[in-house]
Structure 1
Amino acid sequence: MKNNSLEIPKLNFDANGSLVIVASETSSKHDFDFFQGKSIIQNRKLKKRFANCTEWIEFPSTQEMYKILNGIGNIDNFLATFNGEPFEGMTVRLFNPATKLWSIYWSDSTTGVLDQPVIGSFEDNVGHFFSEDTFEGRNVIQVFRWDARDKKKPIWSQAMSDDKGKTWEWNWFMFMTKTN
């Protein structure tokens, strides 16, 4: 299932074909302030990626985010249960004042390893964060999309492209409700 149903900015590549990420003019260390505190989340995750799958798995989770490093970073803990087993994820987000870009790192209780960061910024309360990666042996571009236009009900989503951003497969949505 590939589509372009959620708007993603046009991607730019350098002469070597590597993805180039430039911050929006309004990017700031306050971009994630809306997310500070606790949230309950309804997750909708595609059962299998890049397999023309139309089956979604839905499950609840909770998340709590707090600021670090005098506000140029934040950490959150994601708690869920998969197949009756507790699962914990952790995100570290760091804002570089020189480039005005955010780097977002993820790790979880399954791997214990920080993933390669997705990098980007917000514009008009919608953030796009990209990385070039490998998924099951294929080169992909991954995007995290944060829609914070409703600060009390932000939406996070993730997609991958295996054709340099011409088409995208959305594979995970988190519908959040702030509890404090």
Structure 2
Amino acid sequence: MSADTRYRPGPGDFDFLIGTWHVHNRRLLAPLTGSDAWEEFPGTAVCHGTLFAGAANLDEITFTTKGFSGLTLRLYDPRSAEWSLNWSTSLSGRLSAPIVGRFDTDRRGEFHGEEAHEDAVVPCRFVWSGITADAARWEQAFSPDGGGTWETNWTMSLSRTG
């Protein structure tokens, strides 16, 4: 009999991210306005390895043409079997409210929370997909109607360097 090699979500879900990545960003200029004007810009992300035996990790992304960096701290809660994704930028120096969720057995991660946008707080969704040894995709979407519909407003296509 062969060993069971099916993917099982849990600690280590974000181990694929360890290393250095080229990041192609595509961001909607005016979310939730009906606009379809996008900007594209490069980034470089470095995930600094596994912490808490796979139940945490930390990455920094530098947006070279934007003049700032971002940092994500990811923490796995074994009781709820969920991850909290906690974001900060070099512009604010403060963690945003966590976006919480999990991966499914197909390695697609879906995470929900709230995000400050303009002068309001809106439902926010992150999706991780297309995960391979050398590539991954992340997207952010806002909901204008409490989660009934979603408008994707930022995507990142990651490709491993070296």
Instruction: Bin the TM-score by the shorter chain.
Output: 0.7 to 0.9
Amino acid at match of 2:80: T
Q: How does 1:97-136 map to 2 (within 5 A)?
A: 97-123=78-104, 124-136=106-118
**TM-score normalised to the size of structure 2?**
0.88
For 1:64, which of 46, 51, 68 is the aligned residue?
A: 46
Aligned to 1:174: 156
Distance (Å, rounded) in 2 between the aligned partners of 1:36 and 1:127: 17
Q: Per-residue CA shift, 1:124-146, capped at 9, x if unaligned?
A: 11000100344223442100100
* Alignment: residue pair count: 153
Match status 1:49 vs 2:31:
yes
Counterpart AA for 1:159: A
The answer on whether the counterparts of 1:34 and 1:148 sit within 8 Å (CA) in structure 2 is: no
CA gap of 1:149–1:133, structure 2 versus 1, over 3 A, is closer
Q: Moved runs in structure 1, 4+ residues, more than 4 A?
A: none
Question: Among residues 80, 99, 113, which one is paired with 2:63 in the alignment?
Answer: 80
Contact residue 38 and residue 178 of structure 1 kept, 8 A:
yes
Structure 2: distance between partners of 1:108 and 1:139: 18
Distance 1:139 1:38 in 2: 32
Separation in 2, partners of 1:71, 1:134: 29
Contact persistence 1:77–1:90 (CA under 8 A): yes
For structure 2, list consecutive stretches of 5 or more residues without a partner in the other structure: 1-7
Deviation (angstroms), 1:69: 2.2
C-alpha distance in 2 between matches for 1:179 and 1:134: 32
Residues 15 and 54 in structure 2, CA contact (< 8 A), matched pair in contact too: no
Letter in structure 1 aligned against 2:147: G
Two-structure CA RMSD over aligned residues (Å): 1.5
The amino acid that maps onto 1:118 is I
1:93 partnered with 2:77:
no
Report SS of the residue matched to 1:50. Answer: coil
Contact kept in structure 2, 1:141 and 1:161, CA below 8 Å: yes
SS of 1:62's equivalent in the other structure is: strand
Identity %: 35
Higher normalized contact order (CA 8 Å, seq sep 6+, divided by chain length): 1
Secondary structure at 1:164 match in 2 = coil
Unaligned runs of 5+ in 1: 1-25
